[in-house]
Amino acid sequence: MKKQYKIFLNILITVLLIAGIGILGYLAYDYISQSILTKEAEDAVDEFVTYVEKQSAVVVDISENNQVDVNSNKEVIVSNKTVPKYKNFNIIGSIQIPKTKIKYPIVDVITPDAIAVAVTQIYGSGLNEVR
């Protein structure tokens, strides 16, 4: 009887150990993949900000509702060949919230694939435009 009990406990411990390793592996994979996606989004936003600064543009700081003059008050001239891309979508803006450390690009198309990888403009006439 004792021998059967030891075998049962060994099997139970083995199963629990394998399940624990599987759960830790899944959590590590989830954390690593999320951090990679966040880093890619931040790099895309930084590339877009550099692109906008090279163009003559007006950047709007919505936290204080002020316009920040970059080089002059000219509008951004965007051509599809030079616009930075994120996951094969053109970036038209970025959303940055320093308090929560959010920094994501806003892409130009509204498709299920675009919504799955980035922020999209779903409603309204355009970014920073009055309807």
- Hey, what are 70's tokens? 């970059």
Residue-wise pLDDT for 89-130, tens only, equals 888 888 888 888 888 898 888 888 888 888 887 776 666 666
Residue-wise pLDDT for 63-83, tens only, equals 554 444 444 444 444 444 467
pLDDT at 113: 87
- For residue 43, which amino acid is it? D
pLDDT at 78: 44
Percentage of the chain surpassing pLDDT 70? 72
Of the candidates 123, 92, 88, 118, the one whose C-alpha atom is nearest the C-alpha of residue 103 is 118
Which residues neighbour 68 within 8 Å (Cβ) at sequence distance 6 or greater? 58, 59, 60, 61
| Tally of CB atoms within 10 A around 115 | 13
- For residue 35, which amino acid is it? S
- For residue 58, which amino acid is it? V
114 touches 86 (CB < 8 A): no
Rounded distance between C-alpha atoms, residue 95 and residue 42, angstroms: 10
52 touches 74 (CB < 8 A): no
pTM: 0.60
